[in-house]
Chain A
Amino acid sequence: MRPAPVLLLLGMLGGTVGPAGAAPAIQPEEWRSYVEAFIGPEGRVIDTGNGGISHSEGQGYGLVLSVLADDRPTFERLWSFTATELMVREDGLAAWRWEPDSQPHVTDTNNATDGDMLIAYGLLLAGGAWDEPAYAEAAAPMIRTIGRTLLVTADGLPVILPGAEGFAGTEADARPVLNPSYWVYEVFPAFARLDPVIDWAGVGAAGLEILLRARATPSGLPADWVQLEEGGLVPARDFAPEFGYNGIRIPLYLMRAGIDAAHLEPFRASAGDGALAKVDVVSGEAIEPIGEPGYRLIAAAMDCLAGDGPVPGELRTLAVTSYYAATLQLLLLDHLRRHAPECLDGGAGP
């Protein structure tokens, strides 16, 4: 990894995160409570809603958030754990699942591509924020491997394979199984600068195309797991045909990446009583609300961006509930505070 492109990349990344030296958008107290609740001293992010396991997705979120919170020591902790405990795969990506009570701790050596993308993205952000080339040097092989081995073509679109094993097509059914919430839109420009051989922009566009195809379905939303066919979209075989905790990240990612707000419409429309819900995509019926504050902020933010005024006061600071809700909330608060502070201002105060 030659120094020149890396430095170029770091310079460009500065714009995404914020000018060097600017105060982080994540408050010290709320970051401290997040760390206390969800990050262990050995550097693992603890999924409190999932038996206390750790996974590559959590590590990726943790790395990104610690850069956004300008907490380099915690970043180092997280990266040390990630590298020594999860990066045992031959292809250099992370084994996705780590359990505290198992021996060995890694209980599934398959990768989870969204986790790998988040880890690589966190490393790129860190390299730019703290002027450290070693981080980007560590990210580059991961990004190259993802680009060359985990992107496939489905119904003519370049899509992300959720894992190296088990999601590609079979003899019986050649259509790969996809997860629309694995499209972390803000990473594609960064990946493209580091590895321009791969059409990352095309991958991003394919994600939006998937959302467009979903509009034609009864619920207007994509299921958490889908397959593409003949210009359309169907819920994936062997998965529940539901939009839920996976898909709820899609509007968050769209907002953070500054994608045209028109893409938010189906999500905004499906939210009732200020909360998104789990939806049966076949019938279009809501199943149950996804109610923790972190999730409700997503719906409230969409409403604010559509002109409905600021988000409710109680959603403007971190609620330390579950790892997942708290993580999504921090990511969205970071974005709103930097790019849409009016959504957090006035109205019913804290």
Chain B
Amino acid sequence: MYDIRSSCLSGFRHRLLLSYLLLLLSLFPFNIASAAETAIEIIDQMEALYQGESSRASMTMIVETPQYQRTIELEASSMGTENSFIRIISPRKDRGIATLKLDMEMWNYLPKINKVIKVPPSMMMGSWMGSDFTNDDLVKQTTLTDEYALTLEETDELYTIVLVPKEETVTVWGKIDYIVNKQYMVPVAQNFYDDNGEIIRKLEFTELKDFAGRMIPSRLEMIPMNKEGNKTIVIYDNLEFNPPGVDESIFTLRNLRSRF
């Protein structure tokens, strides 16, 4: 009662009280919100790391299994987070096989039979070209920041963001640990767990390299924990941002079908 009366009496006091109240307000819920925001920001930053506004990359993918080892050279272009286009350069047998992702949809093109095959939603967790990466890993159909609840933990060198799927999210993962290097702001590892909290696969980011002024891990190693002796390594040989020639015409079914 006293406060109100006095605030009426004095403009200065009134302002002081208001700012005090604001401060008080901001202390509680806003504090939590800002932490989540940081987590979202970090993830968004990580996910955009390899893409920029548009990008073009040359990669080598090495698929290792107990039975065989296979090396594939790829060329990938992307525009924003929605559009990406990947084409196999070698081996000769598979040359020209291409994958196009537009928004939420994905197609593969097989030049030998001149056929475009749409990847159905049920195949999103299926292997891409026999590797340990899933189609979903490639096209990032699930947006981590939208579909998962994030909590941020911090040490001196690392951010660990724990992603737990929201109730309505359709996913096979029970939890994802996303570990980020604070100094360079680059991903270090992602650990994928199932519903029972058991680790299913690990994605490790190593060998920082300077691509057009950005320090980015150039070697990605995907290790499925339930398949002994299997792993897939992706090495970025070259990565350009906003390169000339990467425009909307690349991300079309017509381009997917074009002879290469």
Query: Do A and B actually bind?
Result: no
